[in-house]
Structure 1
């Protein structure tokens, strides 16, 4: 693995990691993590595919080891990713987004379709209406005591480090379908993904609401690269049905992994790994080496239509 800092045009720096190796007949992969406001956590996902191609990851501006200064806009973060591709020396890449990273990858596709050779979206993007179903699932997955404690911690203006870890753990334990391990996974994330950039979170969520992807679905469908796929977890608190609806609107394959939550590599590593590798092998092939895309009706009849939903 190679770690490096990329200097951007405004003097900010992004912390990056590169694994795998250059394969002449394949496009590189760039992973876009979620949040917003947490550092990169996709190393385990990169490890599933970096024997196939070159894989880049980075801490988004405002997180982890990257620069924290300045305001956060969709335009700025899209520009950061474009400058990163330049720094890595890539004209075109396959984007792999997770959670809020699927939104960022979608906005990048809208701004720079010529630079996106492939698109793999994991656990997103979720377009309205979906929030009420998510809130209901979260409430069902927390005990009354946990919900009360979450509200108590949320009301604290300046939490101690111990309180912050507890707050994040109770917040994130609903992401996982395996209720016996959910708290342990959430606690591990809470201990490693701090500090949270709450200002960045608020600014980017506001920017997403001001320019919602819902208003760009037709344009997204027009620019969607061949073979693009959305991968979700049947046990995510966020409704798999919302991903299926988006897939229908985009004419994009949707694969829902049974027994998996918001981070499907944790709960269904074999099935998720096989699904991701197949998508990467298909989409990273350069022009002339790709198989012909399946007709739209066949994609709509894929196994994603029969897999269980939450």
Structure 2
């Protein structure tokens, strides 16, 4: 695995990783979620890097990609374009997870000629999904856990231990496998830090100013054939919204049973098969 720091056309430098070798399948770029947390998609890269070259990176302001300026969708879309130019790829398969699926969509809208296929993992969510998601999250916590979560959420400053506890309480509801949910969330809370809350707020506001919901018809018109949405029936975010989005985009949607927000954890074999079929599909 090659790690490389890549400079942008401003004063930012992004940490990137490249695995695999160029073969007949198009190159892949993985876009992590958040926004505001470092990359965590190494396991997904390992599902694909024996068939093609796979890139991933810490988005600016996360992990080792330091940045203290204003975050906008346009800037993050431009970062991805700069990376494709640096890597020498005219076209790639974009695989976005969670918020990364939003970023992949905005990039495709801006540069459809650079995307040979789009794969959405557990996103993007449009329509009225936040209220049912919150209700499911609350239902998966005990009364004591919910009370503790609300106390930690209200704190303006949290200690390191409190931050790890808060993130674990936030994230364990993402998993359908209730036996392993807490362990997975606690492991993630210990390494996917620090959280860039300012970045999260700024990009969330930018998404509201330019909602993807309002651009679905435009996205459908430029969406490459063979693109797909992969979701989990056990994700607290309602899978029905992904199905409706797939209908609007006229693309395939696969909802994996007994699987949450991270399908490669709970359904690794099926997730690997779907990803590889999307990546190795014919170019159009």
Shorter-normalised TM range: over 0.9
Aligned residue number for residue 144 of structure 2: 145
Aligned residue number for residue 129 of structure 1: 128
Aligned residue number for residue 37 of structure 2: 38
Aligned residue number for residue 11 of structure 2: 11
> Are 2:195 and 1:182 equivalent residues in the alignment?
no
Q: Aligned partners of 1:76, 1:56: CA distance in 2, in Å?
A: 19
In the TM superposition, 1:262-273 aligns within 5 A as 262-273=261-272
Asked if 1 retains the 8 angstrom alpha-carbon contact of 2:25 and 2:279, the reply is no
Aligned residue number for residue 103 of structure 1: 102
Normalised to the residue count of structure 1, the TM-score between the two structures is: 0.90
Unaligned segments of structure 1, at least 5 residues: 288-310
In the TM superposition, 1:1-310 aligns within 5 A as 1-23=1-23, 25-282=24-281, 285-287=282-284
Q: Aligned partners of 2:25, 2:83: CA distance in 1, in Å?
A: 19
Unaligned segments of structure 2, at least 5 residues: none
Q: Aligned partners of 1:124, 1:286: CA distance in 2, in Å?
A: 23
- Post-superposition shift, 1:286? 4.0
Asked if 1 retains the 8 angstrom alpha-carbon contact of 2:26 and 2:280, the reply is no
Q: Aligned partners of 2:277, 2:117: CA distance in 1, in Å?
A: 13
Instruction: Count the aligned residue pairs.
Output: 284
Q: Aligned partners of 2:239, 2:151: CA distance in 1, in Å?
A: 30
Runs of 4+ in 1 over 6 A off after TM superposition: none
Secondary structure, aligned partner of 1:118: strand
Normalised to the residue count of structure 2, the TM-score between the two structures is: 0.98
- Post-superposition shift, 1:76? 0.4
Supply the RMSD in Å over aligned alpha carbons: 0.8
Asked if 1 retains the 8 angstrom alpha-carbon contact of 2:123 and 2:231, the reply is yes
